[in-house]
Amino acid sequence: MPRSDSNPSPRTAPASVPVAIYTRVSTDNQVGGRFDSCESQAAICREHIEKHAGDGWYEVACYTDAAYSGGSMNRPGVQALKRQIESGGVKVVLIYKLERVMRSTDEWIPFRAFLKKHACRLESATEDLSESTPSGRLKNILMMGFSQYERENTAEKTLAKMQQQAKRGIWNGGMVPYGYDYDAKAQVLRPNATEAPVVRRVFELAAKLVTLTEIAHLLNAEGLRTKGREFRRRDGKIDQVGAQLFRSDGLRLLLRNPVYRGAIRFAGQEYAARHEPLVPSELWEKANAAVSTTLPRAGPRVSDRDMHAHLLKGLAHCGCCNRALVPTDSTKHAGAEKVYRYYACSTIMRQRESSPCPVGRVSADALERVVVIFLSEVSKHPAVAAAAIQHSETLKTKDRPILVAELSAIQKQLEIVGKKFKHCIQAVEAGGADVLGDSLRERATELRAEKDRLIVAREQKRQQVDACDATQLTEKRILGALERVAEILPKMDVSARREFIHLFVERVEVRKRSVRQRAGQPAEPARMMEVKVRLHVPRLVEAMDEKSFSETRLQRSAFTTRGLALESKVDFTRAHRGEVTITAPFTKVVPFGSVARPAPRPVPAPTEQQHAIHRAHKWQRMLKDKLVPHRFALAKQEQVTPGHVTRMLRLTELMPEIQDYLLKLRAVNPARHFPLREIGELAKLDPEAQKRAFARFQRQFSARIGMSQ
C-alpha cells in the first residue's frame, strides 16, 4: 500500500519591500502646529504600511518638504528621496495623495520614467495610482492635469486679489518697511514714532546732496540700527534678524521705495495708498534724483593709509603746470634711518628729469609749516579781514545775480522737461505704448534721467546762492574765526590738523615767481615762491562757531563759491638748512626742525602682546567721559572705520569672566587665537552660550601653545 505524505509543503516567506514616505505642504500656515498636515500625512501612510506588513512592507525613511510649492521638483526632500532610490534602498514611494508629490504635468512624465528605471513604484494611501493598464496611466495624467490647473488657478486668483487690494491702496504684505508698524486689525501701515523721524531725516539729507555713505556713518554713530524682525523658517523655527548697521545700499533701497510718499507699487504700477506718507512727493523726488545722479566728490579725498600723514595731500597744486603736487619721499643722502618728504609736481613725476616745471619738488615739512604759520598769523593783520569782507561783497554783487539767473533758467528747463515727461506718461496710459512700443519707453527713460539731472543741478545752484548769502560776514566774526584758528591749530595732532584744514582750505597753490630783473635791483632768491592759500571763509566761520566739527563736515558739499585767495611770498632757499622765510604780506622766519624725519621702522614681533579688549575699554572710557562726542568722531580720531569701532566696543559687552581672561591674556599675537570679529559676536549670545563658545577658543589656544612648546 503506498505511503502518503502527511506533512504539508512550507509557505514561502514574503520578500522585504523597503518603503519611503513622502509628505509636503505648500504654506507656512500648515507648519509648526501640534499635529500639522505633514505629520497627519505621515501617520496615514504608516497605517497603510502596517496593513501591508504581511507583504513585507517596512518603513526606511520619511521625507518632508514643508512650505514648498508643488510646481517644481527642485525641493530638498524630493532630491534626497531620489538619491536613496538611485542607491537601491527604496522600492515603494508612499504618499498621501498624488498632488502632494507635484502639481505639474511637465514634471510628472520624467519622474515616472525615473521610478521605472530604478524598479520603484509610486503608491498612495488614499488613491489608486496603478499604472499597469492604459486606463490607469490616463487617469494619473488627468489627475496631474487637474492638480496643475488648480495650482495655476489659485495663483491667478491670488494675483487678482492682490491687484484689487493695491488699487484700493491696501498694503499687500511682506516685510514691514522701516519707519512703519503694521496694524493687523485695521490692515494698514502706521508711522513708527521712533523710526519715522529717521526716515524723514534720511530723505532731507539725501535731497541736500549728502552722500549715502556719510548718512549711514552718521546714523550708525548715533547708535541707530535697522529694523529688527522675526523670520519664520520653513521648519517653523523663528529667528531674530535685522537690527544691523545702516549701509549705503540699504539706504538707497529705502529712498526708492514709493511707500514713503504714500504709494503702493504692484506689478510695475503705482497706486495711491491708504497709509500716511512720511515724506512729501517733492522731497521724495529730489532725494531719488540725487541718488540716481553721480555727484562730484566733495573736496579732496584724504587717505587714512598715508604713512607720513601729509597735511596738504589733495590740496597742494603746482601753479605753473596746473597739476597736483604729489606727496613723495626719499632716503637719499640720509640712509635708511631717515626719510625726506616732498611735494613733487606730477609733471616731473611722469616725465622725470626732462620736465621743464620750475616748481619741481618742494620740501613737505617746509610747505606744511608755512601754511600752518600763515593761517595762524593772518588774524594779526586786519588787511586780511578787510580782504575777506571785500571778497564777500564781490560774491554778493557779481556772483549772486549770475547764479540766480542760472537757477531761474534751470527751473524753466525743468518745467519743460517735466511737461514732456508727463505727456509720455499720458500717452502710455492712453495705450500709446502698444503703438509706439520701445521708442516711447526709451523717450520716457531719457526724460526721466534729464529731469533727475536738472533737479540735482537746481539743488547745487540753490546751495551756491545760499552760500553767497551766507558770505555776508562782519569783520568781527572773521577776525574771531581767524584768532580761533591761531589758537587751536598748533595744538592739534597731525591727523586732527589735516582733517581741520581740509574743512575750509580749498587749494594751496605754489608758483615760481618770474620777475623781470631791473638794473640796479638786487636779484631775488632762486627759490622764491608764491604760495596762495584759498579759503572758504563762510565755512571757516561756521566751523569756528559752537558747532560739532563732524556735523559741519558732514553737511558740506562740494565747494560752490569762489574762495578767498590769500597770497604770500616764501623764500625756500634755506629749506635744506631747516628754515624758510615768509617775506609777504608779513616777514617771519619759519623754522621747521629737522630736514629729515626718522623713517618708519618695522615693529619687531614682541614676545607678548595685549588683546584688543584693552583698546576697547579705553575707547569706552573716552565716550563715557565725553572726550569724543560719538563713535563717528572717535573713528575719525583713531583713523579707523566706524564699523571697526562698533566691533571693538562689542568686546565690552561680553561676560565679566571672559573680559577678565582677555585683559590678563599675554600671548604672541593674541588676535590670532582670539579674533576680534569672532569673539565680539559672542556678545550676542546668552551667558551660558558665551561660556560654551569661549571654552572652545580656550581649548584651541591651549592646543597651539602646547604644540609650540
Average pLDDT over all residues of the chain: 77
Q: Of 456, 417, 419, 421, which is closest to residue 442 (Cα–Cα)?
A: 421
Q: Report how far residue 597's alpha carbon sits from residue 339's, in angstroms, rounded to the nearest whole number.
A: 6
Could you give the CA distance from residue 137 to residue 233 in angstroms, rounded to a whole number? 37
CA distances to 608, 615, 653, 669 from 611, in Å: 10, 8, 15, 8
Identity of the highest mean pLDDT range in 156-160, 510-514, 702-706: 156-160
State the pLDDT at residue 449.
Answer: 81
Q: How far, in Å, CA of 376 to CA of 568, rounded? A: 13
- Residues counted in the chain: 709
Q: Write the CB contacts of 159 (distance below 8 Å, at least 6 apart in sequence).
A: 267
Question: If 0-12 CB within 10 Å is exposed, 13-18 middle and 19+ buried, where does residue 699 land?
Answer: exposed
Mean local confidence (pLDDT), 193-204: 93
**Dihedral sign computed on CA atoms, order 132, 134, 135, 140:** positive
Rounded average pLDDT over 419-437? 66
As beta bridge partners, residue 328 has: 342
Distance CA 554, CA 214 (A): 7
C-alpha to C-alpha distance for 626 and 628, rounded to whole angstroms: 5
Q: In the prediction, which pLDDT does 369 show? A: 87
User: From the CB of residue 539, how many other CB atoms can be counted at a distance below 10 Å?
Assistant: 22
For 460-519, write each residue's pLDDT tens digit: 788 777 766 655 556 667 777 777 877 787 777 777 777 778 777 888 999 887 655 555
253 or 536, greater pLDDT = 253
* Res. 388: pLDDT tops 80: no
pLDDT at 558 over 50: no
Q: What is the residue type of 422?
A: K
- Residue 296 C-beta-side C-alpha neighbours within 13 Å: 10
Please list the alpha-helical segments (H only) found in 271-314.
281-292
Between CA 323 and CA 316 the distance in angstroms is 9
Count Cβ atoms within 10 A of the Cβ of residue 64 and give its class: 0-12 exposed, 13-18 middle, 19 or more buried. buried
Q: What pLDDT was estimated at residue 384? A: 64
Judge if pTM exceeds 0.95: no
Cβ burial of 134 (10 Å; 0-12, 13-18, 19+) is exposed
**pLDDT at 255 (0 to 100):** 93
Residue 305 clears pLDDT 90, i.e. is over it: no
The yes-or-no verdict on residue 194 having pLDDT over 80 is yes
What span, in angstroms and rounded, lies between the C-alpha atoms of 625 and 23? 61
Give counts: helices (H), strands (E), the chain.
25, 20
Q: Answer whether residue 30 shows pLDDT above 70.
A: no
Residues linked to residue 336 through DSSP beta bridges, in sequence order: none
- Quote the CA–CA distance of 690 and 680 in Å, as a whole number: 10
Over residues 75-96, the mean pLDDT reads 91
Q: In the predicted model, what is the mean pLDDT of residues 368-396? A: 72
Question: Which residue do the cell numbers 523655527 mark?
Answer: 237
Which amino acid is present at 667?
Answer: A
Write out pLDDT tens, residues 108-136: 888 989 999 999 999 998 888 887 788 87
Residue 92 scores a pLDDT above 90:
yes
